[in-house]
Structure 1
Amino acid sequence: MAMNKILVIGGSGFVGTHLANQLVERNVSVVVPTRRRERTKQLILLPAVDMIQADVFDEAALVRLMEGVDAVVNLVGVLHSDPALPYGPAFKRAHVDLPRIIVSACKKAGVRRLVHMSALKAAADAPSEYLRSKAAGEAIVLAAQGELDVTVFRPSVIFGRGDAFLNMFARLLKTFPVMPLGGANARFQPVWVEDVARAFIACLEDESTFGRAYDLAGPRVYSLRQIVEYVGQLTGHRRRVVALSDGWAYLQAGLMTLLPKPPLSPDNLRSMETDSVYGNDSLKPAAWNPEYLEAVAPTYLGRHQPKLRLDVFRAHAGR
């Protein structure tokens, strides 16, 4: 089935904006529901993107949004919630309740194709509420296979222009003369947002991906300390990184939750107890060839960004 019109739930976020851009480049119409249309100017300006103010937790509203679409992509995710077992209310609402509503709406609207974003190392017995709730959500989606044509992607930490990962550390390194770091030895396999978007698009018409869950990670593994030190090198704000003991790390994270937009929470630290890297049983998409962090991060974090971007474009063009 040709994909001419896609509903992207969570499309006004970081990954959604990049995905929408790529879909528009392929002459695909994109529908993006949003709570506040005025806050999504970067998408409003794109041709073939229809921003519709709607509550995605309202199943009837979702059914109406799905009229005439060929596929639904769910990118909704939150990083923080009040604590509870097995997961807090914000995690439950975004990662569990919403996928259930989306699956039901797809069935009622007659839209078979659903692509869902989970998280690398999501599991029912994971140490964090975030990962446990992500596992519950992907289980709901995968259980719908047969009635729907579903695919799940589980990315590691995602980086790219406008990210909330490398840019957060860039701001912190600029502000503080010493960098106290919880989870310094946690390991990640960062993946470029453009590669993630391409994987989502490539699977839309690929029947071999139906009913499968794919891990998405970059080509290289880094400790959190290595990532922070690399950001300092790129931005010209090299700082001494002090690895915190577990006790101090959780104290730091607890204090950070008092901020309006916490950069770290105790649950985030618990997520880092499980390395966000490929496992022996990881399933990767066909022709998966992700870009290196070092090829992309300098183009938006480096001190000489315009020249660095030109150098990267030349490298890709073979010049």
Structure 2
Amino acid sequence: MRIPEMALQIQTVLVLGGSGFVGRHLVARLAAAGARVIVPTRRFERAKHLISLPRVEVVEADPNRDADLRRLMAGQRLDAVVNLVGRLHSDTGAPYGRAFARAHVELPRRVVAACAAHGVPRYLHMSALGAAAGAPSMYLRSKADGELAAAANPAVAATIFRPSVVFGPEDHFLNLFARLQRYLPLLPLAGAGSRYQPVYVGDVAQAFVNALARPRSRHQVYELGGPRVYTLRELAALAGDYAGHPRPIIALPAALGRLQARLLECLPGEPLMSRDNLDSMRTDNVVDAAAQARTAAELDIVPVALEAQARHYLGAAPPGFDDFRSRAGR
């Protein structure tokens, strides 16, 4: 995939969530295209993997604080702000919990207001496929309200992206299924029949880069998906096969799957699955064919097949590979 010339159009970009899974790919591609990229992080350690990239500045700041947000934008002459911040879990609430409200709705509202105040003309926003006010999950309802916040100020041209589940090295989706099958004799799976259209992380990052280079992407919404639709069961099976540990997959009935999710919510740390995640699965995570064609045409994206990438990063390293990496200093 070619990287468009951006030097005359986009000089400086602030990327919120730039140290995360999608963010690190986007920051690298923006830097390669000649942009100066500013990445705020609450803890420098989380983003130190970016400091070796040319034209990338890692700044300790918390975008959830108005003072930090003003400091990030003041005097920078930003051409665009990209917001990749999101979370999969929250406390409960109506129409969604406080954690979802803060990350998915309040943050974009504050960022767009700050963009307008400091003369930043572009705002690129990460939403999710299936976002809707009447969606079955808190996650998707909060994402829908986040889109309204993103497009609320006509002085700031927003571009909204709705990806299906994103896969790639270090993802928390296929890698999770691969790890589980490494240690479990079988895989009990809730929502096994739910449908997804996984999109490669590199394609998502390139869509953002190409949108910045194309003025016609202003005030547009783009859905992002890969070339093929899978059931969750098929994706779990592929992950096990590619990791070299295929296991029997047991599709759980709805009631049993919900009980499993509730038990997982009680474990310490981020749950592997929540009841709200199950609610999201009630909506197929699939891109409309017309929307897929429009994204390809307007953003010049040819989706990479899951099979072309996942078998490489999920597969076991050949003998001696880890030793070779350590000797090479990688």
Same fold (TM over 0.5): yes
| Among 238, 242, 245, the residue aligned to 1:234 | 242
User: Matched residue of 1:251: which SS?
Assistant: helix
User: Matched residue of 1:200: which SS?
Assistant: helix
Q: CA deviation at 1:47?
A: 2.4
**Greater shift in the superposed pair: 101-110 or 255-264:** 255-264
Provide the residue aligned with 2:23 in structure 1: 16
Q: Structure 2 regions of 5+ residues with no counterpart? A: 1-7, 320-330
Residue 299 of structure 1 pairs with residue 307 of structure 2: no
Residue 247 of structure 1 pairs with residue 260 of structure 2: no
Q: How does 1:70-109 map to 2 (within 5 A)?
A: 70-109=79-118
Output the TM-score relative to the length of structure 1. Answer: 0.92
Does the Cα contact within 8 Å between 1:178 and 1:241 map onto a contact in 2?
Answer: yes
Does the Cα contact within 8 Å between 1:60 and 1:105 map onto a contact in 2?
Answer: no
Q: In the aligned structure 1, how far is the partner of 2:133 from the partner of 2:162?
A: 14
Deviations 1:62-102 (A, max 9, x none): 12212222110000000000111100110000000001000
| Count of residues in Structure 1 that have an aligned counterpart in Structure 2 | 305
Q: CA deviation at 1:281?
A: 6.0
User: Matched residue of 1:242: which SS?
Assistant: strand
Does the Cα contact within 8 Å between 1:9 and 1:75 map onto a contact in 2?
Answer: yes
Output the TM-score relative to the length of structure 2. Answer: 0.89
Q: CA deviation at 1:36?
A: 0.5
Does the Cα contact within 8 Å between 1:12 and 1:43 map onto a contact in 2?
Answer: yes
Provide the residue aligned with 1:213 in structure 2: 221
Deviations 1:278-317 (A, max 9, x none): 13663642233100000010120113579xxxxxxxxxxx
Q: In the aligned structure 2, how far is the partner of 1:89 from the partner of 1:190?
A: 28
Provide the residue aligned with 1:169 in structure 2: 177
| Among 169, 184, 190, the residue aligned to 2:192 | 184
User: Matched residue of 1:21: which SS?
Assistant: helix
Provide the residue aligned with 2:302 in structure 1: 289
Residue 45 of structure 1 pairs with residue 52 of structure 2: yes
Amino acid at match of 2:272: P
User: Matched residue of 1:288: which SS?
Assistant: coil
Q: In the aligned structure 2, how far is the partner of 1:288 from the partner of 1:205?
A: 13
Does the Cα contact within 8 Å between 2:139 and 2:276 map onto a contact in 1?
Answer: yes
Deviations 1:197-243 (A, max 9, x none): 00000011312111111100000000000000011111111101000
Provide the residue aligned with 1:263 in structure 2: 272
User: Matched residue of 2:291: which SS?
Assistant: coil
User: Matched residue of 1:170: which SS?
Assistant: helix
User: Matched residue of 2:213: which SS?
Assistant: coil
Q: In the aligned structure 1, how far is the partner of 2:119 from the partner of 2:55?
A: 23
Amino acid at match of 1:91: F
Q: CA deviation at 1:103?
A: 0.6
Deviations 1:160-187 (A, max 9, x none): 0111111111111111101000000000
Does the Cα contact within 8 Å between 2:151 and 2:157 map onto a contact in 1?
Answer: no
Provide the residue aligned with 1:204 in structure 2: 212
User: Matched residue of 1:282: which SS?
Assistant: helix
Q: In the aligned structure 1, how far is the partner of 2:286 from the partner of 2:238?
A: 19
Q: In the aligned structure 2, how far is the partner of 1:15 from the partner of 1:114?
A: 17
Provide the residue aligned with 2:65 in structure 1: 58
Residue 36 of structure 1 pairs with residue 21 of structure 2: no
Q: In the aligned structure 1, how far is the partner of 2:289 from the partner of 2:36?
A: 38
Q: CA deviation at 1:31?
A: 0.5
Q: In the aligned structure 2, how far is the partner of 1:293 from the partner of 1:194?
A: 12
User: Matched residue of 2:58: which SS?
Assistant: strand
Residue 193 of structure 1 pairs with residue 209 of structure 2: no
RMSD: 1.4
Deviations 1:237-291 (A, max 9, x none): 1101000011110111111112212111000010010010013663642233100
Deviations 1:120-143 (A, max 9, x none): 010000000000000000111123
Question: Percent identity, aligned pairs only?
Answer: 50
